Amino acid sequence: MIDKFGRKIDYLRISVTENCNLKCIYCIDENNILNSCNNDILTDDEIVKIATECARLGIKKIRITGGEPLVRKNIESLIYKLKCINGIEEIYITTNGVLLHTKIEDLKKNGLTGVNISLDSLNKDRFKKLTKFDKLQDVLLSIDKALELGLKVKINTVIVDDINKDEIIDFVNLTKDKNLDIRFIELMPIGAAKNYKGTSNEEINKNFKNIKVENKSKRSGPAKYIRIDNYKGKIGFISPISSCFCEDCNRIRLTSTGFLKKCLHYNYGVDLKKHIRSNISDKDLNELIYSNIYDKPQEHLFMEDCDNKENKYMNQIGG
Ligand code: SAM
């Protein structure tokens, strides 16, 4: 469907839990997560019901996120049910990769198209410092298993000043022999991240000044890509802060508690769980989703003061 600014909306991100098996310092507030563990989240049937109406409105691609989506019980069967919805062509997952190697074969059998794996350090000790868990080996194993199975693999990396800036080239070097893309995502000032200073993609780009790159500058989704000559994978830059891509935004978000969010930055949206549990008809649900998508804000204003800013933490929204 087309929103009021003429953007085609065909991508739904579904957060299936707020819980996570890592505690990344810029993502989760540990006190907050303890409270939110008990939140009443959508059931599989409720998620499928909402996704079905979204598909009727033109959603073609779904991404499952969280919290950590792989800690949700029976995530494999939820993925299968979503993939069976008429109109859904692709289904992806964004994961920290810790549990992925134990589930990936079933996920693929059930229709998963590809995985984005979040990874901010290739150094064991630093990984532990950033995430509070000693799980780097599991993540690396998951990356290799996903590649072995022929899934599309993208690594999402957030570079934070004073923490992991010295690893930029190590991450880039992953694209040399492995058929994966690495994407640098600028840190957005949401939740716990307000306490950290992200490194801009302009600054990261300076690393490529003296390297011969093939410029795949055509944007694919929010990312702009380059490739180093003779390297297998691409290097992507997602720059919500230094180069806003709202004019091409094609997505909406459903939180695990059933709130349909119009934009990452604002708290605008609608509590679909409340309506579903009051037995709203499919037709009325469809209209409610339509009117909310139609009315998506024009752009985020992360760096400005404004009303209705989102106060949730990233693990509650799904990134
Ligand atoms: N647990 C899963 C994972 O780690 O991929 C899914 C949820 S996590 C919130 C999704 C992504 O959001 C991760 O790549 C994480 O690095 C990113 N993220 C969290 N807070 C962020 C922020 N303030 N700015 C940019 N990215 C952020």
- Supply the pLDDT for residue 10: 97
Residue 284 CA to ligand 1 centre (angstroms) = 33
Residue 24 CA to ligand 1 centre (angstroms) = 9
What is the model's pTM?
Answer: 0.95
Residue nearest to ligand 1 atom 1, measured at CA: 68
Q: Please give the residue that has the higher pLDDT: either 303 or 189.
A: 189
| Mean pLDDT on 112-122 | 98
- Mutate which of 15, 32, 118, 153 for ligand 1 pocket (most atoms within 8 A of beta carbon): 118
- Which residue ranges have their beta carbon within 6 Å of ligand 1? 20, 26-27, 65-66, 68, 94-96, 118, 156, 158, 185, 187-188, 190, 193, 314-315, 318-319
Considering the chain, what percentage of its residues have pLDDT values greater than 90? 76
- Supply the pLDDT for residue 211: 80
- Supply the pLDDT for residue 222: 83
| Mean pLDDT on 27-34 | 72
Count other C-beta atoms under 10 Å from residue 167's C-beta: 18
Q: Please give the residue that has the higher pLDDT: either 158 or 192.
A: 158
Q: pLDDT-based confidence at 153, cuts 50/70/90?
A: very high
| Mean pLDDT on 166-177 | 96
| Mean pLDDT on 41-66 | 98
- Supply the pLDDT for residue 212: 77
| 44 vs 21: CA distance, rounded Å | 21
**Of the ranges 186-200, 207-221, 294-308, which is most confident?**
186-200
- Supply the pLDDT for residue 192: 87
Residue 22 CA to ligand 1 centre (angstroms) = 11
Record the tokens describing residue 51, joined without a space.
């996704």
Q: Is the pLDDT of residue 38 over 80?
A: no
| Mean pLDDT on 226-231 | 92
| 226 vs 213: CA distance, rounded Å | 6
Q: What is the mean pLDDT of the chain?
A: 92
Ligand 1 atom closest to the Cα of residue 192 is 23
Q: What is the pLDDT of residues 74-95, one digit of tens each?
A: 999 999 999 999 999 999 999 9
Residue 316 CA to ligand 1 centre (angstroms) = 10
| 147 vs 143: CA distance, rounded Å | 6
Q: What is the DSSP string of 126-193?
A: HHHHHHSS--HHHHHHHHHHHHHTT-EEEEEE--BTTTTGGGHHHHHHHHHHSS-EEEEEPPP--GGG
Ligand 1 atom closest to the Cα of residue 190 is 23
Q: Is the pLDDT of residue 63 over 90?
A: yes
Residue 81 CA to ligand 1 centre (angstroms) = 25
Residue 276 phi, psi (nearest 5): -65, -40
Ligand 1 atom closest to the Cα of residue 187 is 24
Q: Is the pLDDT of residue 37 over 70?
A: no
Ligand 1 atom closest to the Cα of residue 317 is 9
